[in-house]
Each structure stands twice: as structure tokens, then as C-alpha cells.
Amino acid sequence: MFDELSAKLSSVFSKITSRGALSQKDVDETMREIRIALLEADVSLPVIKDFIAKVKEQAIGEKVVRSITPGQMVVKIVHDELKNLLGDENCALNMNAPSPFSIMMLGLQGSGKTTTAAKIANKIKKHKKVLLVSLDVYRPAAQKQLEVLANQIGVESLPILEGQKPLEITKRALDYAKKGGFDVIILDTAGRLQIDEDLMAEVADVRDIAKPIETLLVADAMMGQEACSVADSFNKQIGISGIVLTRIDGSSRAGAALSMKMVSGAPIKFFGTGEKIEEFEEFHPERLAGRILGQGDVVSLVERAIEKVDQKEAEAVAKKMMKGNFDLNDMLIQLQQIKKIGNMGSIMSLLPGFAKIKNQINEAKMKMGDNLMKKQEAIILSMTKIERKNPDIIKASRKIRIAKGAGVEVHEVNKLLKTYEQMSTVMKKIEKMGPISALASRFMGKSPFGGGMPLGGGNKFPF
């Protein structure tokens, strides 16, 4: 959702960062273009006015005028103000309360509230014993949906009793949690198609009984400015401690994320980046500001890699590579490790400068990269164990069989084998370098990718 805004701001700043001095006219023109970019991103008008005023006040100051790189100073000012606009600092989930404590989920129907409840449970289950509780007795199969999600992530859900009302379920959940030794109760309240008095009254009653330590509003980024109005209404009538913004991977504009904090007064705490349980990120204002300005977010990429990649497996592959014992089983492990981190688009969006090259590396090409990795995985899986250990025995007849098994052409099998040969050659050269290889081994052992990213040929990316 930030790609379009990021590309436009990158274009604006490319005009001023190369200049040795900035005039008042240059600053005014830059502010005008930033204002247009924010308007097109569906950012709230009061938010834009306040943002531009703060940036302009600093941009025409003596600090910028006397700077050796005034354009870069303006970019820094915009970055800092974007960070302030998004919430200034990371607001982690409050877990500092005697057990069992409650987290209450609010939101309109269709915002992804039930899935988000499961995503939060999945995130904290390593440190806390979690009980998922559905209070939605109105939407068909809503309680069953949460029960299925709970089983999927390996946490417990409150047993369903037909005929109970939300307040009865809340009281039963509190008692069940105390007796069961649970640390956290996540209450998934019922949603409506729109805010109404009945919804607010019911949520207020649940709040008074459960006394939640966190009251999180789940808002759909696709709603744009309407999401800000929903957040404002819930905050005024119920009081919310944070916001979870869902569907930021869709075609929505960035307005909701950039306006939410100022309009509602509540910080964004999490982002839903997809439908899958693991597609869920903590919200870091400084990192997001960097992503919007095309500076990437390598820290988040590394954190994602550390969380999802088997470190022991990666280190074992790296050691084998350094000894020159690299085979196709190891290459398969690497491909599978990379897939765990995300698709090509999500990985590259976290790299610095992506906004500038996005037009050249379009979505179709990124899909080609994802498809290439899938094909490479299928090709290796179509080989026998002996073939994976000894790729040299793979001749014409074996290539035809492997290609048929993987559903690809023979030339694609040849391409994978060539990639493997190139990697193997490089590893053998490093191994012969003696002391240097020891240093490389240490470095590669720490890398979340193991020994590199075998994405195809000698190119940096597989397209």
C-alpha cells in the first residue's frame, strides 16, 4: 500500500538531493509536490496541513540553508516528521499485568478481526499460555472459525456452549482461564456492518466485565479515510489502546496508516500483511518511514529471516559449502529457507532503493522469480536421492525423466544444474583459500540464508 506514495516521494526528492543549494522557490515546489502525493494517497487533509507546516518550518531554517547537502537535510526532516505522524515510537503490546489478563478485539464485520485474534495468539504463545474466546454469537460459524484457527496454531479456545450470550461467555472465559492457569484471554467481540448503539453497548458491557489491559481495534486499510472515522468513533465511545491495520498488502492507498494516529489518538501496533497466520508484523514507525522514503527496512527483513529460518540447518549447510561438499539437497534446503521468508515482492520491498527500480522490476518479473524458485524446488524433488548427492550422473535420459516429473522442460533442468555447478565451483575456490575460508565460514554460518541465495544463473535476481 505504500509503493505508490514511496515512488512519488522518491521522484520528488531526486530533484533536490543533487543540488548544492536550495532556494525558497525550490522548497515551496517540493512542499507542493509532497502535498499532492499525500492527497493522492488519501491522507486526511488536516493531517496533511499540519505535516507540511512542520516540514516547511524546518526546511527553510538556517540548519538546511547552511548544510553541505541541503536536499538530504530536507529528506531527513520529512523522515522525522513521518515518524512522528505514524506514532513516534514503537508501541509494543502491553503484557505487564497479573495473569490472567484480557485483550479485547474490536472492529466492523469483514475487517479480519477473528483472524487477527489468532495471529496475535500465535505471536505470544511462546511466552504466554493463551485462551482464545469468541463472543460473536451473531455471525454463522464465527465461534467455530476461531476454534479451527486455535487448533491450527496450537492454542486452546473456550469450549462452545450453544445459547449463551456474549456477557455470559465473557464471565465463563474469565473463570475458565483462572482454573486452567492461562496467562492471556483474547476476546474476539462481534462485529457489525456499521457502528450502532447495540454494538457499542455490548462492547462496553464486555469491557466492564473483562477489564482488558489492551483494547485493539482491527481496521481494514482498504476503507481509507473511513477507517479513521471508525477508529475515532470506537475510541470516543469505548476507548482503544491500539490499532491493527489489515490488508496493507492490497491495492489500498496509504492514507489510513498515515492518518490513523492523529485522527484517533491511538497508535498502530500491528500490520496484517496477508491472509496467512504468519503474515503479521509489529508496527515500527521509524522503519515504516524509511520504507516510504525508499530507504528500505533491512532490520525487519533480518528479523523475519531469524524468526522463520532454521538457524542450525542453515549453519550446517554453510559448513558443508565451505568444505566443498555442497550437493543438491543443500540447494533444496536453501530454496525452502528463502520461501519461508516471503515471496520475491515482499523481500525486495524491504531493500533500500526498491521504489526507484520498481518500474523496471515489475510485478510480473517478481512473479517470475517466485515461479523460478518453485520450479527449481520441483526439479530437485523429482530427482532420486542418489542423483541429488551426485549430480554428475544426471545425463540426457535422467534429465528427460526429471523434467517430466517436475512438469518442466529439459532446458530448465539444465539451467538448474548450471546454477548448481557455478555455486559449487565458487565454494571450492573459497575452500582452497585456507584461512580466508574460515572467516567466510563464520560469516556465512551467521547468515540467515546459509550460504547464499541460489536464485538462478549469475544474476543478482532471477529475472
Q: Which three cell numbers stand for residue 350?
A: 524491504
Q: What is the mean pLDDT of residues 26-47?
A: 85
Mean of the per-residue pLDDT values of the chain: 78
- Considering only residues 387 and 441, tell me which one the structure prediction assigns the higher pLDDT: 387
Beta-bridge partner residues of 133: 187
Main-chain phi, psi angles of 103, to 5 degrees: -120, 120
Q: Give CA angle at 56 (11, 243), nearest 5°.
A: 75
Q: Which three cell numbers stand for residue 48?
A: 496533511
Upper half-sphere CA count for residue 233 (Cβ side, 13 Å): 17
pLDDT band at residue 369 using 50, 70 and 90 as cut-offs: low
pLDDT for residue 99? 87
**Lowest-pLDDT range of 10-19, 99-108, 239-248:** 10-19
pLDDT band at residue 116 using 50, 70 and 90 as cut-offs: very high
CA gap 211, 197 in Å, rounded: 20
pLDDT for residue 103? 94
> Is the per-residue pLDDT at 456 higher than 70?
no
pLDDT band at residue 398 using 50, 70 and 90 as cut-offs: very high
pLDDT for residue 5? 78
pLDDT for residue 56? 84
Beta-bridge partner residues of 218: 244
88-100 per-position pLDDT tens digit? 666 778 888 888 9
Most confident of 4-13, 55-64, 186-195: 186-195
> Which residues are CB-contacts of 272 (< 8 A; sequence separation ≥ 6)?
112, 115, 116, 119, 244, 245, 246, 247, 248, 279, 280
Q: What is the share, in percent, of the chain residues with pLDDT greater than 70?
A: 73
Q: What is the mean pLDDT of residues 184-192?
A: 90
The reply to whether domains 3-86 and 302-446 share a CATH topology is no
Most confident of 279-283, 287-291, 297-301, 453-457: 279-283
pLDDT band at residue 337 using 50, 70 and 90 as cut-offs: confident
pLDDT for residue 306? 57
- The 3-class secondary structure across the chain, one letter per residue, is CCHHHHHHHHHHHHHHCCCCCCCHHHHHHHHHHHHHHHHHCCCCHHHHHHHHHHHHHHHCCHHHHCCCCHHHHHHHHHHHHHHHHHCCCCCCCCCCCCCCEEEEEECCCCCCHHHHHHHHHHHHCCCCCEEEEECCCCCCCHHHHHHHHHHHHCCEECCCCCCCCHHHHHHHHHHHHHHHCCCEEEEECCCCCCCCHHHHHHHHHHHHHHCCCEEEEEEEHHHCHHHHHHHHHHHHHCCCCEEEEECCCCCCCCHHHHHHHHHHCCCEEEEECCCCCCCEEECCHHHHHHHHCCCCCHHHHHHHHHHHCCHHHHHHHHHHHHCCCCCHHHHHHHHHHHHHHCCHHHHHCCCCCHHHHCCCCCHHHHHHHHHHHHHHHHHHHCCCHHHHHCHHHCCHHHHHHHHHHHCCCHHHHHHHHHHHHHHHHHHHHHHCCCHHHHHHHHHHHHCCCCCCCCCCCCCCCCC
Main-chain phi, psi angles of 186, to 5 degrees: -105, 115
Asked if residue 14 lies in contact with residue 36, where contact means CB atoms within 8 angstroms, the answer is no
Residue the block writes with cell 557455478? 422
> Is the per-residue pLDDT at 107 higher than 70?
yes
Q: What is the mean pLDDT of residues 357-384?
A: 73
pLDDT for residue 453? 40
State which fold the 101-301 domain adopts: Rossmann fold (3.40.50)
> Is the per-residue pLDDT at 130 higher than 60?
yes
CA gap 348, 301 in Å, rounded: 9
CA gap 288, 270 in Å, rounded: 12
298-312 per-position pLDDT tens digit? 555 555 565 556 667
> Is the per-residue pLDDT at 444 higher than 50?
no
pLDDT for residue 231? 83
CATH code, 302-446: 1.10.260.30
Burial status of residue 359 (CB atoms within 10 A of its CB: 0-12, 13-18, 19 or more): exposed
- Considering only residues 229 and 186, tell me which one the structure prediction assigns the higher pLDDT: 186
pLDDT for residue 322? 63
> Which residues are CB-contacts of 31 (< 8 A; sequence separation ≥ 6)?
52, 55, 56, 59
Asked if residue 184 lies in contact with residue 101, where contact means CB atoms within 8 angstroms, the answer is yes
**Lowest-pLDDT range of 37-46, 201-210, 412-421:** 37-46
pLDDT for residue 356? 55
pLDDT for residue 75? 80
Can you give the residue ranges of every domain in the chain?
Answer: 3-86, 101-301, 302-446
State which fold the 3-86 domain adopts: Four Helix Bundle (Hemerythrin (Met), subunit A) (1.20.120)
